[in-house]
């Protein structure tokens, strides 16, 4: 009986409060606005801000062992862990030096913080891998065949190594000729080389490229492949090193072992912090995207680079909508895909919201674009692609140059080229259709709210 009386009293009190609020809102609207609405909104926003600080992803610092790599030596053995080159560490050190020396002493030059050290190779390929022993070899075979053909290997290769590799490749081509996907034709973006050490080299760099200060003899050549093993529990590392041994990829294919799983975004970010290439591309280990479309990505990047040589090109599967690759998918999968894209259009800034396919695992960055994106990454899960594109869109302005080199204006952000690529679904996906879709939706909302409310800023993560 007492409990019923308490319940009835509480209901009556709430009813009186509701009538009081309604009367105040109708009779004294401005008083109601400033006394009730504004404080409630302020408290709500502050509560969301605190909540975001608690739940927003925060990338962990790399362990010392994660700043080393394994590769194969000329005698076929696996090397001891070697120190990994890291443009990011140098970039941060130079930035702290600038802050410490606001007025730089004479004779003590400090580079601009957003400068990045010159490239040592033409292309760096980052391959995030988690339990990929069954799928990674096919993807690596396609990569190496294309990269050898279009870029060649670094000029430190000896003639004997090249001849030996060439004979192995001819035998491999004869054996597997019917199993390969076709190489995608594209505009000629590779200049034939007069040297026999590399089949083709890139044409001369633009005047404002990130390595224009170096002499012509120091132009980067060849490529590197960084496999970032994201705490795999299978034989991914051993399979990758065995592949390097068979193909003579000594110090070209490098395996970075993460001591603890970070997620695909964390693995890609870690790899991109250690690239040495003029172009940096990450590609999924399943080989779903045709790797020979890399030429298209480079063309797309060159079409949008700004006066500071910053540009991004991303592979897109949007042109496949309506094709068998999409029509034959389950109805729920297509529904979730369209729902996520609608949410993306609502929650992301204008340039990012216009991109039709943000999730394709085939994206390329010019070297000059990396310092404006990679140091500020937070997301380590599936949503990291969108954060990369948002960071590109929000990058600081750079001068617009006329043909004579004079500055005629400025443009904000790094332009992104969306390039159609060939793609086919590969068995063995680790994506949980419903679970990962929900996590991506929540992650996108948290990411956008964190940037809007200042939880994330353009500061080093």
Q: What is the pLDDT of residue 418?
A: 96
Q: Is the pLDDT of residue 281 over 80?
A: yes
CB 151 within 8 A of CB 222: yes
Query: In the chain, how long is the greatest CA-to-CA distance?
Result: 98
Q: Is the pLDDT of residue 158 over 80?
A: no
Out of 110-124, 242-256, 441-455, least confident range: 110-124
pLDDT in tens, 41-95: 999 989 999 999 898 888 989 999 999 999 999 988 999 999 999 999 999 888 8
Q: Is the pLDDT of residue 131 over 90?
A: yes
Cα–Cα distance, 32 to 26 (Å, whole number): 9
More confident residue, 436 or 357: 357
Torsion angle in degrees (nearest 10) through CA of 254, 259, 264, 268: -40
Closest alpha carbon to 297 in 153, 423, 186: 186
More confident residue, 3 or 112: 3
Out of 55-64, 86-95, 103-112, 347-356, least confident range: 103-112
Q: What is the pLDDT of residue 168?
A: 52
Q: Is the pLDDT of residue 231 over 70?
A: yes
Torsion angle in degrees (nearest 10) through CA of 442, 444, 446, 448: -150
Q: What CATH number does the domain located at 62-452 have? A: 3.90.550.10
Query: Which pLDDT band holds residue 326 (cuts at 50, 70, 90)?
Result: low
Out of 55-69, 188-202, 346-360, 385-399, least confident range: 188-202
Give the relative orientation of helices 294-304 and 136-150 as an angle to the nearest 10 degrees.
60
Provide the token pair at 455. Answer: 């939880």
Out of 14-23, 92-101, 110-119, 261-270, least confident range: 110-119
Q: Percent of the chain at pLDDT above 70? A: 77
Q: What is the pLDDT of residue 156?
A: 58
Helix ranges (H only) for 250-314 are 264-272, 294-304
Q: What is the pLDDT of residue 319?
A: 79
Out of 18-27, 105-114, 188-197, 242-251, least confident range: 188-197
Within 13 Å, how many C-alpha atoms sit on residue 48's CB side?
A: 15
Neighbours of 93 (CB within 10 A): 10
Query: Which pLDDT band holds residue 188 (cuts at 50, 70, 90)?
Result: very low
Q: Percent of the chain at pLDDT above 90? A: 46
Neighbours of 403 (CB within 10 A): 6
Q: What is the pLDDT of residue 93?
A: 86
Q: What is the pLDDT of residue 21?
A: 75
Q: Is the pLDDT of residue 402 over 60?
A: yes
Sequence-distant (≥ 6) Cβ neighbours of residue 356 within 8 angstroms: 316, 318, 341, 418
Residue bearing tokens 């034989």: 235
Q: What is the mean pLDDT of residues 431-439?
A: 77
Q: What is the pLDDT of residue 459?
A: 72
pLDDT in tens, 407-434: 777 778 999 999 999 988 787 777 776 7
Closest alpha carbon to 280 in 341, 346, 224, 216: 224
Query: Which pLDDT band holds residue 218 (cuts at 50, 70, 90)?
Result: low
Mapping DSSP to helix (H, G, I), strand (E, B) and coil, where does residue 15 land? helix
Out of 214-218, 229-233, 437-441, 457-461, least confident range: 214-218
More confident residue, 160 or 437: 437
Average pLDDT, the chain: 81
């Amino acid at each position: 009986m007492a409990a019923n009386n308490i319940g009835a009293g509480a209901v009556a009190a709430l009813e009186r409060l509701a009538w009081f609020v309604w009367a105040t809102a109708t009779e004294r609207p401005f008083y109601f606005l400033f006394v009730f609405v504004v404080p409630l909104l302020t408290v709500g926003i502050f509560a969301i801000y605190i909540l975001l600080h608690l739940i927003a992803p925060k990338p962990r610092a790399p362990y010392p062992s994660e700043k080393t790599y394994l590769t194969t030596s000329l005698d076929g053995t696996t090397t001891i862990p070697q120190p990994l080159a890291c443009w990011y560490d140098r970039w941060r050190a130079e930035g702290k030096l600038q802050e410490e020396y606001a007025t730089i002493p004479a004779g003590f030059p400090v580079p601009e913080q957003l400068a990045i050290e010159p490239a040592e190779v033409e292309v760096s390929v980052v391959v995030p891998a988690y339990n990929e022993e069954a799928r990674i070899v096919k993807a690596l075979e396609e990569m190496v065949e294309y990269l050898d053909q279009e870029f060649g290997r670094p000029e430190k290769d000896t003639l004997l190594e090249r001849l030996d590799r060439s004979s192995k490749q001819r035998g491999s081509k004869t054996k597997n000729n019917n199993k390969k996907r076709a190489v995608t034709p594209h505009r000629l973006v590779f200049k034939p080389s007069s040297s026999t050490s590399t089949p083709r080299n890139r044409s001369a760099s633009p005047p404002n490229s990130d390595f224009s200060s170096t002499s012509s003899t120091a132009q980067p050549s060849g490529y590197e492949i960084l496999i970032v093993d994201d705490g795999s529990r299978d034989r991914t590392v051993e399979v990758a090193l065995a592949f390097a041994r068979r193909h003579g990829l000594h110090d070209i294919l490098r395996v970075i072992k993460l001591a603890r799983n970070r997620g695909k975004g964390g693995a890609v970010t870690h790899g991109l912090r250690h690239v040495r290439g003029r172009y940096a591309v990450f590609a999924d280990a399943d080989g779903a995207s045709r790797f020979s479309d890399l030429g298209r990505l480079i063309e797309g990047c060159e079409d949008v680079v700004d006066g500071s040589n910053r540009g991004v090109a991303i592979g897109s599967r949007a042109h496949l909508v309506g094709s068998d690759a999409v029509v034959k998918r389950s109805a729920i999968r297509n529904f979730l895909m369209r729902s996520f894209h609608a949410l993306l259009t609502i929650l992301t800034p204008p340039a990012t919201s216009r991109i039709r396919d943000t999730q394709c695992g085939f994206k390329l960055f010019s070297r000059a674009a990396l310092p404006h994106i990679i140091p500020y990454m937070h997301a380590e899960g599936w949503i990291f692609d969108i954060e990369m594109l948002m960071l590109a869109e929000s990058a600081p302005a750079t001068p617009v140059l006329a043909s004579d080199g004079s500055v005629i204006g400025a443009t904000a952000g790094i332009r992104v080229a969306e390039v159609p690529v060939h793609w086919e679904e590969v068995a063995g996906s680790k994506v949980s259709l419903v679970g990962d879709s929900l996590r991506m939706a929540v992650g996108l909302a948290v990411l956008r709210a964190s940037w809007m409310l200042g939880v994330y800023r353009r500061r080093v993560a």
